[in-house]
Amino acid sequence: MKIKNIFEQKERVVSFEIFPPNKNFSEEKLKAVTAELVNLNPDFISVTYGAGGKTKGGTIEMASYIKNILNTEVLAHLTCVGSKKSEIENFMKEVKENNIQNILALRGDVPKGETEEIYDRGDFKYASELIQELKSNSDISIGAAFYPETHYQNNDLVDLFHLKNKVEKGADFLVSQLFFDNERFFSFREQAEKLDINVPLVAGIMPITNAAQIKRIVELSKCSVPKKLERILEKYGDNPESMQKAGVLYATDQIIELFANDVKGIHLYTMNKVEAARDIMNNIFFAR
Ligand code: FAD
């Protein structure tokens, strides 16, 4: 099913994100984890593509497993940084062969060991160009990324303008970078509405279950950490069990407030872990 149709049919949409197998996370383990995630009844699961400059690979295989073996809707991520048109065509051929109907179309970042020259080496400089390509040559439902606290390479207004361009080129829904401060999301939504960006805005939520994790996340995403979360980290950060519980409750609080303010979709960054996702799904069952 196309994800744009899921948004049309359901009042609230909850999705999970996983990353493909790698040297620290075997395919066998990931398949077991994904089967448990499917049991939590998400509306769809997304599979990242070479995120963090890692090797591209495993996205289609995992997406196909979720769609065709676990019978759950799937969103395959795809980045275009440094890619030739033929590589995108080959990827899309496999997408079609595997009955995958949804792509999150992204630019991607400079991979490790490369320089910014890579942005000019491929056939697509920005995600909007990839979206245009996918829209012209396939019948896929397309999602794109957005940044409630702005993308690190731009300021708010310019970034919003580029976001509108992605919607005009064919993005059916938008998934956000993770954030911990709902007010940032709400004020972004207000600005987006003023620009007539009218597709569903999905809120990316990551439960912080381990204090060490947050430093790297903030470095990568440049998202702000509200005082409330800072105090939780100070108080419970040294106790893994308490931190896990506090992180789940913080994310639950965020989601309930988002739903209460008519946010249509929540995308949980699971980091291939089941426990926090399960606890959050139990906590929010009444709000879905
Ligand atoms: P774009 O929309 O192309 O924007 C990139 C920058 O260029 C922005 O600053 C924008 O304002 C600017 N820009 C856009 N158009 C123009 C223009 N015409 N002229 C000048 N400037 C312009 N990365 C991965 O590698 N793999 C993944 O699986 C992955 N999944 C993600 C999932 C989500 C939900 C999110 C939010 C991000 C994900 N990323 C992933 C990270 C993403 O690839 C990076 O954040 C990347 O830096 C930007 O990608 P984009 O698609 O938003 O790019």
**pLDDT tens track for 120-132:** 999 999 999 999 9
Using CA atoms, how far apart are residues 163 and 144, in angstroms rounded to an integer?
9
CB of 50 within 6 A of ligand 1: the answer is: yes
pLDDT category of residue 53 using cuts at 50, 70 and 90? low
pLDDT number for residue 54: 59
- Ligand 1 pocket test, pick from 81, 88, 107, 154 with the greatest ligand atom count within 8 Å of Cβ, gives 107
Residue 153 has pLDDT above 90, yes or no: no
Q: Per residue, what are the HEC states of the chain?
A: CCHHHHHHHCCCEEEEEECCCECCECHHHHHHHHHHHHCCCCCEEEECCCHHHCCCCCHHHHHHHHHHHCCCCEEEEEECCCCCHHHHHHHHHHHHHCCCCEEEEECCCCCCCCCCCHHHHCCCCCHHHHHHHHHHHCCCEEEEEECCCCCCCCCHHHHHHHHHHHHHHCCCEEEEEECCCHHHHHHHHHHHHHCCCCCCEEEEECCCCCHHHHHHHHHHHCCCCCHHHHHHHHHHCCCHHHHHHHHHHHHHHHHHHHHHCCCCEEEEECCCCCHHHHHHHHHHHHHC
Domain positions in the chain: 3-287
Atom of ligand 1 nearest to the CA of 144: 51
Q: Which CATH number fits domain 3-287: 1.10.10.10, 3.40.190.10, 1.10.3720.10, 3.20.20.220?
A: 3.20.20.220
pLDDT at 44 over 90: yes
CA of 108 to the centre of ligand 1 (A): 6
Rounded to the nearest angstrom, the distance between the alpha carbon of 127 and the centre of ligand 1 is 6
Q: Which atom of ligand 1 is nearest to the CA of 151?
A: 9
Q: What is the pLDDT of residue 28?
A: 97
Average pLDDT score over residue span 176-199: 96
Using a 6 Å cutoff on CB, does residue 108 contact ligand 1? yes
- pLDDT value, residue 151: 87
155 or 151, which is more confident: 151
Q: Which atom of ligand 1 is nearest to the CA of 19?
A: 28
**What does the pLDDT average to over 201-230?**
92
77 lines ligand 1 (CB under 6 A): yes
Highest mean pLDDT of the ranges 85-99, 105-119, 140-154: 85-99
* Cα(110)–Cα(124) distance, integer angstroms: 14
What is the distance in A from the centroid of ligand 1 to the CA of 287?
A: 31
How close is the Cα of 105 to the center of ligand 1, in Å? 9
Supply the residues annotated as catalytic: 17
pLDDT tens-digit readout, 58-108: 999 999 999 999 999 999 999 999 999 999 999 999 999 999 999 999 999
User: Does pLDDT of 157 surpass 70?
Assistant: yes
Residue whose CA lies nearest to ligand 1 atom number 46: 108
pTM over 0.85: yes
Please compute the mean of the pLDDT values over residues 166-178 and round it to a whole number.
98
pLDDT at residue 257, as a whole number: 98
User: How far, in Å, are 56, 129, 243, 252, 274 from residue 246 at the CA level?
Assistant: 34, 41, 5, 10, 16
Average pLDDT, the chain: 95
> Considering only CA atoms, which residue is closest to atom 21 of ligand 1?
162
Hey, which of 116, 162, 266 would you mutate to test ligand 1's pocket, going by the most ligand atoms within 8 Å of its Cβ? 162
Q: For residue 151, how far is its CA from the centre of ligand 1 (angstroms)? A: 8
- How far apart, in whole angstroms, are the C-alpha atoms of residue 35 and residue 62? 11
pLDDT at 270: 98
The pLDDT of residue 52 is 60
For the chain, percent of residues with pLDDT exceeding 70: 98
How many angstroms is it from 107 CA to the middle of ligand 1? 5
Is 242 a residue whose pLDDT tops 70? yes
Range of lowest pLDDT (119-123, 143-147, 172-176): 119-123
* From 96-105, 110-119, 259-268, the region with the lowest mean pLDDT: 110-119
% of the chain surpassing 90 pLDDT: 86
Q: How far apart are CA 264 and CA 171, in angstroms?
A: 16
What pLDDT does 55 receive?
62
pLDDT on residue 1: 97
Is 55 near ligand 1, meaning CB less than 6 Å away? no
Residue 4: the pLDDT is 98
Q: Whose CA is nearest to atom 24 of ligand 1?
A: 51
